[in-house]
């Protein structure tokens, strides 16, 4: 992708690009960029991705209007000794756009449920600016606690989870803002007793981080067609707490105090993926360095070219991402199996 830094960014209207209008009360009117998949939708073709897996919606917090979209593969595991991992998914959209029901995220979750295979839980979380951060993080942690209660059979466990899921093999997964949520939800979960649920892997695809100081990649792709700087700045101004700048830990944890950085060292194994054509690539690389410096086991996969959210537009990139996720999930699950077998052998 060519260097865009010589082109003026002032010609970009971020509201028009993002298809949003800010109302007098501060809320947004959003024009849908992607169609939504209803739980009652009848699929017309057998080739549609959403037909691969069964799915249903489960209320999480009716007061906050949050819910969970749960996916399972159509064929159950061969026996109870082959239960599936659980992927807790957070969608992207700069914290201000989209839904768990938006077609690209719905289809991607459906494909993962079948191809990994896994049970996938996708969260419909509250959006900013109506609900500024940390509302999305609160919803993510509430989801983890819901999974814990399911595993403990509090008020009854959903039959899909009872039949399919190995709660000792749970992952947090998300792209863009969803990747940011994976990071912050995992940090919060360190302060919670989630047992018998065990989060054994964090999957952050092109995680959404920034800062007050422009990185070289942000300056190089100032007029990026997917995420130009004016749009990036606007989304953060709408998502962060009132009065906060982009060096707030929600946006730029790399500049956080020593306590938070020390806490990062307690995170479980991570997969961080990115593309060289993404304005956020430098921040993603910086995150990897900070995590590795704290002793976290990080699998970093950064490809040349591409753009932010490229898996939505390029089927080959989506397939490559799915392969990376499958390898990471399989490796983490094998480690759990090995540790479990080793523990039994010492008894």
Which residues are catalytically annotated?
176, 278, 308
User: Is 65 in contact with 126 (CB distance < 8 Å)?
Assistant: yes
Between CA 152 and CA 194 the distance in angstroms is: 10
Chain centre distance of CA 239: 16
User: Is 307 in contact with 238 (CB distance < 8 Å)?
Assistant: no
Between CA 130 and CA 280 the distance in angstroms is: 25
From 159, 155, 169, 173, select the one nearest 197 (Cα to Cα).
Answer: 169
47 is written with which tokens? 């080739």
Beta strand segments in the chain, E = 20-22, 28-30, 54-61, 66-72, 84-90, 119-124, 165-175, 199-205, 270-275, 298-303
From 127, 122, 95, select the one nearest 106 (Cα to Cα).
Answer: 122
Burial 43-79 (b: 16+ CB within 10 A, else e): eeeeeebbebbebeeeebeeeeebbbbbbbbeeeeee
Please spell the DSSP secondary structure of 318-330, one letter per residue.
HHHHHHHHHHHHH
From 106, 191, 101, select the one nearest 145 (Cα to Cα).
Answer: 191
Between CA 139 and CA 60 the distance in angstroms is: 9
């Amino acid at each position: 992708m060519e260097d865009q830094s010589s082109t003026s960014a002032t010609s970009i209207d971020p509201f028009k690009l993002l298809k949003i209008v800010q109302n007098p009360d501060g809320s947004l009117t959003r024009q849908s960029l992607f169609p939504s998949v209803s739980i009652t939708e009848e699929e017309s073709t057998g080739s549609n991705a959403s037909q691969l897996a069964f799915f249903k919606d489960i209320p999480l917090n009716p007061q906050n209007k949050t819910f969970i979209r749960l996916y399972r593969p159509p064929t159950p595991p061969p026996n109870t000794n082959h239960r599936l991992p659980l992927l807790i998914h957070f969608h992207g959209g700069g914290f201000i756009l989209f839904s768990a029901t938006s077609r690209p995220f719905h289809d991607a979750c459906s494909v993962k449920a079948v191809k990994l295979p896994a049970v996938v839980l996708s969260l419909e979380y509250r959006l900013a600016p109506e609900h500024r951060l940390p509302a999305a993080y609160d919803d993510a942690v509430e989801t983890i606690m819901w999974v814990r209660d399911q595993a403990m059979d509090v008020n009854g466990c959903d039959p899909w989870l009872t039949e399919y899921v190995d709660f000792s093999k749970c992952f947090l997964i998300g792209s863009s803002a969803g990747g940011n949520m994976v990071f912050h939800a995992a940090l919060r979960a360190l302060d919670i007793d989630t047992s018998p649920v065990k989060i054994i892997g964090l999957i952050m695809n092109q995680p959404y981080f920034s800062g007050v100081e422009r990185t070289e990649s942000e300056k190089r792709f100032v007029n990026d067609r997917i995420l130009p700087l004016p749009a990036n700045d606007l989304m953060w101004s709408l998502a962060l707490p009132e009065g906060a700048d982009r060096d707030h830990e929600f946006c730029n944890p790399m500049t956080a105090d020593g306590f938070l950085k020390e806490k990062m060292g307690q995170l479980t194994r991570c997969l961080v993926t990115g593309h060289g054509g993404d304005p956020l690539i430098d921040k993603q690389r910086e995150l990897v360095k900070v995590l590795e410096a704290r002793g976290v086991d990080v699998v970093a996969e950064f490809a040349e070219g591409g753009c932010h959210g490229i898996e939505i537009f390029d089927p080959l990139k989506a397939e490559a991402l799915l392969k990376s996720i499958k390898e990471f999930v399989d490796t983490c699950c094998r480690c759990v199996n090995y540790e479990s077998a080793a523990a039994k052998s010492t008894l």
